[in-house]
Amino acid sequence: MIDSNPPLLHHFGALSSPNPPPPTTSSNLKCQVMEECQLPLIDLSGLNSNDQKEIVACAAAICRASSEWGFFQVVNHGISPELLKKMRREQELLFQTPFERKSTCGLLNNSYRWGSTTATSPKHFSWSEAFHIPLTKVSEESCYGEFTSLREVMTEFAAAMSKLARLLANILVENLRHQRDVIDDICDESTCFLRLNHYPACPISAEIFGLVPHTDSDFLTILYQDQVGGLQLMKDSKWVAVKPNQDALIVNIGDLFQAWSNDVYKSVEHKVMTNGKKERYSIAYFLCPSYDSLIGSCKEPSIYKQFTFGEYRKQVQEDVKKTGHKVGLPRFLL
């Protein structure tokens, strides 16, 4: 038996059919190799240029990638490599904590989760564990227990990610001829959050999800990932693997920006596939509005009916509970 921490194998086995997926071997890995894509790469130093043409070109590249891909990478983003390394080191120490302690001691606002409690079949199961922390709790000393050094690093990291997310969101808003402060007015620290992810090695099969296919229920997400790989996105009706870039952060558009932009920006389905030999770490920052914020299309005729973020979250949770997967924006089409 594989000794997994947390006990993912036990729960996955309970969902599997009498014929579980074949174990990962060098031979079946060869036939699972897929196209690897290089996401649009945007150098954000252009936004600080003294040349107005460079500023405009950089902003245009962000908007174009958000429309054509829904995903892009950014370099020279203003978050220091030293801070990123410290955050990764603290994250690894956190997940090395024994499962019993992580799951019972209330760490990080009691936000620890693992596997998929709502999964009804292997295709709805995520081979991963995570901490899901609202920004309002990031600086609270009581959330950290003995992980005192994590608090200082994560507070700095969250502030840096929040600043970057708002910068990018304001550019996307302005491109649609709206005031830049729209996002600042409705996005609230109580609903923005960080998610610390750990994907243990999974020697059962290369076809098991680390994170099931989904879109993000926010305005935009910023991802800091390691070099293991595993992130895949839907491009031109097929799955493509994202090649890791150690110098870049990944940005993707969420459902709320797609609805608000009337489909100008694309919220693209993505997933994480497990690795048979290596564990994977990532941290995602989610830019979300307050629950009572009304999300309506920025121009008419609108593709979607208006909804609040709270209503959207509730509908997503109901769908996942009933069917095991998220339906998302199609629920709100006019």
Encode pLDDT of 187-197 as tens digits. Answer: 988 889 999 99
Alpha-carbon distance of 209 to 125, in angstroms, equals: 7
Alpha-carbon distance of 207 to 32, in angstroms, equals: 9
**Would you place residue 3 in the very low, low, confident or very high pLDDT band (cuts 50, 70, 90)?**
very low
Chain-wide mean pLDDT for the chain? 90
**Would you place residue 152 in the very low, low, confident or very high pLDDT band (cuts 50, 70, 90)?**
very high
The reply to whether omega before 20 is within 30° of 0 (cis) is no
Check whether 120 has a pLDDT greater than 80.
no
Write down the residue that tokens 């493509």 correspond to: 240
Encode pLDDT of 283-329 as tens digits. Answer: 999 999 999 999 998 888 999 999 999 999 999 999 988 887 899 99
Encode pLDDT of 214-253 as tens digits. Answer: 999 999 999 999 999 999 999 999 999 999 999 999 999 9
* Phi, psi (rounded to 5 degrees) for 42: -120, 125
